[in-house]
């Protein structure tokens, strides 16, 4: 019998035995860098000879993995293979599917540091950020297994004499899972596991910036006993094969995490019925944010400054939940700018394989260029760089954590998602003004408020329009089961990953009503009277 769900503990790397284990994992993974990996469709390993390379963003000459570029024909084949596998996988009892996830959970725990090490090399995560990613993947696996057992149990219905009524949840069909590179294990695993534990089959197309960790996870699924064809591994250009996967008439739903632009494009394409399509495709999308932390005049400024800096620069600001706007009450604005800048300057930027590194390189050359352009735009609009602002792209894609003060509402840097280590600081005249500024973007993912005023906290609960609102704490670090995650407006479909509603997005409810013998006897008796 399963015990109560508990979040996976983060590793304390200050303990030498833990640090030693992580160093050993990094050394092991380093010896495996540069290998070539296949596509996998229905269990068959396929090589196309057309290769894409995944590079270490902190050392751009280092190849992490070499992957096959799929063709349109192979993309169609993957969907059709998953569709065929669905006929049998959908009939596997829910508790058996849950047991499979428990086996996956155990393997993930056994290889925790190794999986984290892959993320250090492939996406430039620090030890702590990689460890947090792996812990979240373990949590998703364990939590969704338990949730499937709950969904499969008897559902509460109003009783009526003479009928036996049952509500069950059945799977949808073939899902296309398109995860991001910034949580290359946790989000990728979460969407995939939610799909298969509910009885669906999957075509998994990981980001071209993080395919290696996805393949390592795919191998774990195989080891745990996932049948061939239930999950199919597909790498390649989004423009070439992504559209084919989304458009295919046998695709039943798309689970996506990424930019607003691509998410909207997927939603638009999925809404168009294809020849032979028998359903309205479902889209489960998380599309980023322009998240704000409001700092009121009545609060502990040191705690607020620490929360802002941690939220802004964890994993180089490359989190959809990251604080990219600090909205500060005018009365404490100058003091807060100073405290934020002081803490930012202490961040150690460097090689993520070094345990002392707090922040590393951004994901790729395109991001490096775009983020630096945003910094220049901010300065051109009158922004004042009070910390960072420098960049070094010689060895890797390194950008200093950058704080830009005196940003005004409506400016480019205050409105557009940068997805990098850049924090805009905005002065608000009062708390009402701060809320107005915070709500003044098209996004609505996370937000936070620091204040000791209970009335203002209550006002924020009602008026701060985000899916995840945090009071007197940072706006990053959502925990599975504790903080169901998903946002409003252009931040996505408010899917609440890691929550009790999430698996319902991958199923449909079916009601079966059966007339009972007692009901027939009662009808005959009434007729006779």
Domain presence at residue 7: no
The answer to whether residues 326 and 253 belong to one domain is no
Flag whether 98 is in a domain.
yes
255 plus 137 within the same structural domain: yes
User: Is residue 506 one of the residues assigned to a domain?
Assistant: no
Domain shared by 210 and 97, yes or no: yes
Q: Are 38 and 48 in contact (CB under 8 A)?
A: no
Residue 346: inside a domain: yes
Residue 335 maps to a domain: yes
Range of the domain at 409: 291-471
Where residue 321 sits, what CATH number does that domain have? 3.40.309.10
Residues 195 and 316 in one domain: no
Task: Give the CA diameter of the chain.
Answer: 93
465 falls within a domain: yes
Structural contact between residues 70 and 39, judged by C-beta atoms closer than 8 angstroms: yes
- Are residue 183 and residue 210 in the same domain, yes or no? yes
Active-site residue set: 286, 320
368 within some domain: yes
Q: How far apart are CA 39 and CA 68, in angstroms?
A: 6
> pLDDT truncated to tens, each residue of the chain (529 aa)?
567 899 999 999 999 999 999 999 999 999 999 999 999 999 999 999 999 999 999 999 999 999 999 999 999 999 999 999 999 999 999 999 999 999 999 999 999 999 999 999 999 999 999 999 999 999 999 999 999 999 999 999 999 999 999 999 999 999 999 999 999 999 999 999 999 999 999 999 999 999 999 999 999 999 999 999 999 999 998 888 999 999 999 999 999 999 999 999 999 999 999 999 999 999 999 999 999 999 999 999 999 999 999 999 999 999 999 999 999 999 999 999 999 999 999 999 999 999 999 999 999 999 999 999 999 999 999 999 999 999 999 999 999 999 999 999 999 999 999 999 999 999 999 999 999 999 999 999 999 999 999 999 999 999 999 999 999 999 999 999 999 999 999 999 999 999 999 999 999 999 999 999 765 555 555 545 4
- Burial class of residue 375 (count of CB atoms within 10 Å of its CB; 0-12, 13-18, 19+): buried
Rama region for 122: left / alpha / beta (φ>0; ψ in -120 to 50; rest) = alpha
Using an 8 Å Cβ cutoff, are 135 and 8 in contact?
yes
The predicted structure's pLDDT at residue 88? 98
Judge whether 187 and 257 are in contact, CB under 8 Å.
yes
Q: Give the total number of structural domains in the chain.
A: 2
Query: Global pTM?
Result: 0.96
Residue 485 DSSP code: B
Cα three-residue angle 338-341-344, rounded to 5 degrees: 150
């Amino acid at each position: 019998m399963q015990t109560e769900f508990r979040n996976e503990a983060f590793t304390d790397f200050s303990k030498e035995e833990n640090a030693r284990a992580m160093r050993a994992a990094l050394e092991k993974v380093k010896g495996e860098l540069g290998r070539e990996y296949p596509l996998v469709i229905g269990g068959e390993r396929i090589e196309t000879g057309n290769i894409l390379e995944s590079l270490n963003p902190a050392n751009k000459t280092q190849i992490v993995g070499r992957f096959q570029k799929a063709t349109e024909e192979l993309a169609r084949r993957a969907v059709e293979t998953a569709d065929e596998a669905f006929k049998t996988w959908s009939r596997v009892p829910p508790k058996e599917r849950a047991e499979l996830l428990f086996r996956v959970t155990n393997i993930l725990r056994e290889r925790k540091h190794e999986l984290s090490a892959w993320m250090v090399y492939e996406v430039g995560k620090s030890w702590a950020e990689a460890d947090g990613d792996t812990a979240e993947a373990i949590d998703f696996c364990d939590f969704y297994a338990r949730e499937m057992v709950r969904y499969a149990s008897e559902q509460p219905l109003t009783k009526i004499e003479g009928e036996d009524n049952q509500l069950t949840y059945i799977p949808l069909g073939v899902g296309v899972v398109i995860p991001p590179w910034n949580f290359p294990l946790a989000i990728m695993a979460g969407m995939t596991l939610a799909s298969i534990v509910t009885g669906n089959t999957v075509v998994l197309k990981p980001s071209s910036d993080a395919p290696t960790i996805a393949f390592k996870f795919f191998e774990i699924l195989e080891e745990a006993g996932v049948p061939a064809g239930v999950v199919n591994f597909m790498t390649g250009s989004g423009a070439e094969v992504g559209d084919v996967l989304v458009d295919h008439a046998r695709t039943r739903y798309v689970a996506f995490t990424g930019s607003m632009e691509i998410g909207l494009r997927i939603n638009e394409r999925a809404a168009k019925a294809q020849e032979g399509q028998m359903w309205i495709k479902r889209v489960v999308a998380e599309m980023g944010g322009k998240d704000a932390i409001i700092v009121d005049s009545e609060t502990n400024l040191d705690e607020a400054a620490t929360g802002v800096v941690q939220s802004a620069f964890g994993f180089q600001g490359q989190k959809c939940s990251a604080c990219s706007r600090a909205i500060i009450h005018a009365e404490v604005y100058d003091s807060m700018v100073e405290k934020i800048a002081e803490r930012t300057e202490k961040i150690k930027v460097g090689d993520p394989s070094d345990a002392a590194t707090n922040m590393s390189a951004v994901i790729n050359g395109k991001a490096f260029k775009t983020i630096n352009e945003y910094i220049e735009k901010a300065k051109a609009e009158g922004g004042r760089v009070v910390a960072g602002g420098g960049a070094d792209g010689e060895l890797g894609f390194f950008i200093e954590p950058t704080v830009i003060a005196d940003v005004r509402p409506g400016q480019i840097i205050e409105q557009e998602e940068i997805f990098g280590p850049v924090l805009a600081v905005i002065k608000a005249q009062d708390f009402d003004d701060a809320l107005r500024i915070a709500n003044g973007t098209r996004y609505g993912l996370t937000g936070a408020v620091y204040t000791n005023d209970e009335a203002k906290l209550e006002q924020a609960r009602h008026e701060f329009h985000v899916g995840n609102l945090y009071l007197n704490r940072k706006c990053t670090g959502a925990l599975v089961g504790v903080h169901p995650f998903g946002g409003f407006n252009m931040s996505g479909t408010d899917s609440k990953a890691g929550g009790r509603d999430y698996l319902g997005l991958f199923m449909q409810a079916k009601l079966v009503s059966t007339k009972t013998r007692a009901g027939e006897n009662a009808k005959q008796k009434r007729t006779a009277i």
